[in-house]
Amino acid sequence: MSAVTAARPRSRGRAALGWIALVVGLLLVSLVGGLFVYGGYTERALLDPDSAGPDGTRAVVRVIEQQGVRVIVARDRPAAERALAGADATLVMRDAPMLSDDALRELSSRARHVVLVEPRSRALDVLMNGSSLGGFVDDTAAADCAVAAPDNARTARVGELLVAGDGVTGCFPVGSEFGLLSLEDGGRSVTALDGLSTLTNSTLPREGNAALALGVLGKTDTLVWYVPAPADADPGAAPPTLSDLTPPWVTPAIALLLLSALTAAIWRGRRFGPLVTERLPVTVRATETTEGRARLYATARDAPHALDELRRASRTRLVRLLGLAARTSPPDVADAVAERLGADRSRVRGILVDDVPRTDRDLVAAADRLRDLEESVRVAVRTEGTPR
């Protein structure tokens, strides 16, 4: 009775440890998921002026600074507007889908020169008179235009191609599309090019990319590199959240499903007591095993495999009868049998090794020949051992 009483606290202790481990695991999963979802992990790589990675642009920023240009990195719209206020500056910007068309025009109007390093169709349409995206080619192209910066670079590595709008000059032509677009308007300019193929740390040393970057980005004494942030959207124009896009019944349904899953886990995961051992049968009749395997072979219609099993067992018995080594190869066993019986070697090898049955009838005939051969060897061995 005392042993049973002592076993119960140990069982309860193990169950409590299991629940504690489950709760800790859920908390860890929630923490990691929260970090990913709510911004605990940020990546600065793609065209980021502070990134030294292959897709960053720190190298071109350092080269521009060595030419006497002051580079200001603005990581939100208010910072970019403050940097452009009262300054004759060049604005470099990636795609900013959170900005409305009016906000895009207003921000661009504050700079003397605008460089789009990740152009998209909307920005090209708004700022470059209906220009748009084209195809893509990873190759070198000649400038072939009258714009100063591309003409000085002569060649450059183009990537994403652009289609020129009204009054827009195209450089680095590939067919009817261009690797760079330039729009001049009263001393101001807007330039668009694929920065991933031209300005990144890994692509800057290629062809004339460095000369092109200096010519495009170094037009003024101040360069404002704007990195758009999600909070830069106009008031009232913020993109809808997931809860705004889903019907109101979705959240309660998800909560109900989670509660149901937790209830099912508790219900199905409960333990009724300590595990007990069950006595299992330890012997199986040889006839049952033989019949079972025979039925499998018959179902599979695999006569060659079935005959191989019969031959293997027969050769094992013949090895013992003839006093051969256990690892004697099948051809050597057949030769020893033929020599003992004085029979034809090829015929004995056919029975023990080579013959291949095609049908069940062939399998039965081969089994009969195998049985007769084994019986002949047994009689021969018995006869030789009988004293005269």
- What CA–CA distance (Å, rounded) separates 116 from 124? 9
Residue with tokens 């030294």: 52
Report residue 82 as tokens: 């403050």
Residues 130 and 167: beta-carbon distance below 8 Å = no
Give the model confidence (pLDDT) of 204-232 as tens digits: 988 888 999 999 999 999 999 999 888 88
Strand locations in 57-144 (E): 70-74, 89-93, 113-116, 132-142
| Closest-CA residue to 117 (of 186, 179, 26) | 179
User: Would the pLDDT of 4 be above 60?
Assistant: no
Give the model confidence (pLDDT) of 9-26 as tens digits: 555 566 667 667 777 777
Give the model confidence (pLDDT) of 270-312 as tens digits: 666 677 776 766 676 777 777 777 787 777 777 888 888 888 8
Can you give the pLDDT at residue 142?
93
Residues 169 and 147: beta-carbon distance below 8 Å = yes
- What CA–CA distance (Å, rounded) separates 355 from 301? 17
- As a whole number of Å, the CA-based R_g of the chain is 42
| Closest-CA residue to 204 (of 60, 44, 53) | 60
